[in-house]
Amino acid sequence: MRIAIIGAKGQVGWELTQRAPLLGHETLAWDVAELDITDAAAVDRELGASGADVVINAAAYTAVDRAEQEPELAFAVNRDGPAHLAAACNRLNIPLLHISTDYVYDGGKSSPYVEDDPIAPLGVYGRSKAEGDEAVRRLSPRHLILRVSWVFGIHGHNFVKTILRLAREREELRVVADQSGCPTYAGDIADTLLNLAGRIAEIDASGAWGAYHYCGEPATTWHGFAGAIVEMARTREPLPTRIVTAIATADYPTPAARPVNSVLDSSRLAFRFGIRPRSWRDGLHALLAALYAG
């Protein structure tokens, strides 16, 4: 297949550019510097000339706290950009695979979120992503929206790299323990998207378009995730950190509110496509192996 990858320098986009050719796919990859998805004319021009069989949108404004001060930019990238991509894909009859987020939910549910639960984002980032999802649904019937959570990967900034940096500097780390979620390895998300991209004919035949959840297992807290990072990293290098202390969200105020519960139920994806989440610990092992290998 010829796969157009939008947001090629992000965590998932980078993994897509590395993995797709290994499966025999031809890739066309753009990042923000090469294709401004907030420019409808540019999107039409590039996709129209691409000859793509499928478009995967991994581009997003993901600075959750900064979005509170930059709402216009967040909405331009996360709402208007997907709208332009969806409209162009619809005109060209190209299926669109679009990455979304757990932040479309408010976190008030006591059990894992399923795809049909009502959305109620808490901040600008979540609202902008939710409106982008709605634009994709409205403008491109042949779409898959993949909601993911707590993404970490080899390329780009993420929680794992932050904890590693702090563990090399401090004897104690203080990490929020009253927010639950599912860390998800960017490489696993990329593999899932490529699996789905290769099954477009099957999806067309079954009409299985729509929204799906994909996240690592099992659920944990930021504190539990941080503890696992330090534990695994300590087998590879000496670290000054001796304790990872659990704190409350109230002890670590941020400009944007976070969902208390970000756990996603991935069973619909497993039922319809046989795609089951991998343990986030396996993804963490893979990431640390790659980082320490340079």
Q: What is the pLDDT of residues 3-43, one digit of tens each?
A: 999 999 999 999 999 999 999 999 999 998 899 999 999 99
Which alpha helices (DSSP H) does 93-185 contain, by range?
A: 124-139, 159-167
Rounded Cα distance, 240 and 206, in Å: 54
How many Cα neighbours within 13 Å face the side chain of 133?
Answer: 24
The mean pLDDT value for 102-107 works out to 97
Q: Residue ranges of the alpha helices (H) in 11-123? A: 11-19, 40-50, 71-75, 81-92
> Which residues, 6+ apart, have CB-to-CB distance to 35 below 8 Å?
6, 42, 43, 46
Please tell me the distance from the alpha carbon of residue 235 to that of residue 222, in angstroms, as a whole number: 21
Q: Which residues pair with 211 in a beta bridge?
A: 145
Residues paired with 146 in a beta bridge: 99, 212
Q: What is the structure's pLDDT at 43? A: 97
Which residues are known catalytic residues? 125
pLDDT at 33: 86
213 phi and psi, to 5 degrees? -105, 145
Helix (H, G, I), strand (E, B) or coil at 115: coil
The predicted structure's pLDDT at residue 32: 85
**Quick one: pLDDT at residue 251?**
94
Question: Model confidence over 41-77: pLDDT tens digits?
Answer: 999 999 999 999 999 999 999 999 999 999 999 999 9
Cα 142 to chain centroid distance, Å, stands at: 20
Of residues 152, 148, 146, 102, the one with CA closest to residue 125: 102
Q: What percent of the chain has pLDDT over 90?
A: 98
**pLDDT value of residue 286:** 95
Distance CA 52, CA 94 (A): 7
- 227 pLDDT more than 90: yes
- Spell out the domains of the chain, with CATH numbers in brackets: 2-157+183-216+264-271 (3.40.50.720)
